[in-house]
Amino acid sequence: MMNDRMTQPIVFIPDAGELPDVFTEVVNALPADLKPRIAPWSGTVGRGQEDVEKLLDKHELRRIILVGGGRGAAVALRVAQAQPGRITHLVLDTPVISLDEQTRKVGRALKRVPGFLFRGRNKEELLNQVDELDGTSAGDFADVATPTLIISGTTHPELVDALPRVVTVSVDGAGRRTYRTHPGEFGAHLGRFLADS
């Protein structure tokens, strides 16, 4: 018998600026009765949250499973934080919610790089993204009680410790985004998490 969760709306939130097709193989690995939507976004995480919430409202989606990758995971966490009754499950792939010290240094160096070297990317937008991540920590999401699965090639102990209802899965050799390098495994872990919770 199919778990009710397997018929809920599922919304994929890619990393900032990624095209929706990054989830194609993951979607193909999911049960056929799931009707996923993909919510592309760009700009700051706050702007991404607005974009995702508009999509959910436009399609009148309720009781949603959110899947976010990279900075899209931060967007998913923010939506779950703002609308806890609407989001039933979170699946986060290699979440990027804050900056480590090395990335902070790179962010500071970006301020000195001339804008024309960004090749079509908006330097101001990129600097805003760095500032936003620099001001965020795992503790900012400690009130997100939504059942959460974190899939990654590496662990994120600060986020694991902050979230009250989290399960983690590490995929060996997954690289930066599991849904890109191991889409079949990502889909299988997602399916098991939804069936078991």
Give residue-wise pLDDT tens across range 77-99. Answer: 999 999 999 999 999 998 887 66
CATH of residue 91's domain is 3.40.50.1820
Q: How many domains does the chain have?
A: 2
Is 128 found in the same domain as 51? Answer: no
Is 155 found in the same domain as 77? Answer: yes
Helices marked H in the chain — which ranges?
Answer: 24-29, 45-58, 71-82, 101-110, 123-134, 157-162, 178-181, 183-196
Is 105 found in the same domain as 177? Answer: no
Is 192 found in the same domain as 161? Answer: yes
Kindly report, residue by residue over 36-92, the tens digit of the pLDDT.
Answer: 899 988 888 899 999 999 999 999 999 999 999 988 999 999 999 999 999 999 999
Q: Whose structure tokens read 């899939």?
A: 151
Is 156 found in the same domain as 84? Answer: yes
Is 69 found in the same domain as 130? Answer: no
Across 172-189, average pLDDT:
83
**pLDDT attached to residue 76:** 96
pTM: predicted TM-score of the whole model, two decimal places? 0.80
Across 154-167, average pLDDT:
78
Integer CA distances (angstroms), 183 to 17, 152, 173, 196, in order: 19, 12, 12, 20
Q: Which domain holds residue 103?
A: 99-135
Kindly report, residue by residue over 109-131, the tens digit of the pLDDT.
Answer: 666 666 665 665 666 666 666 66
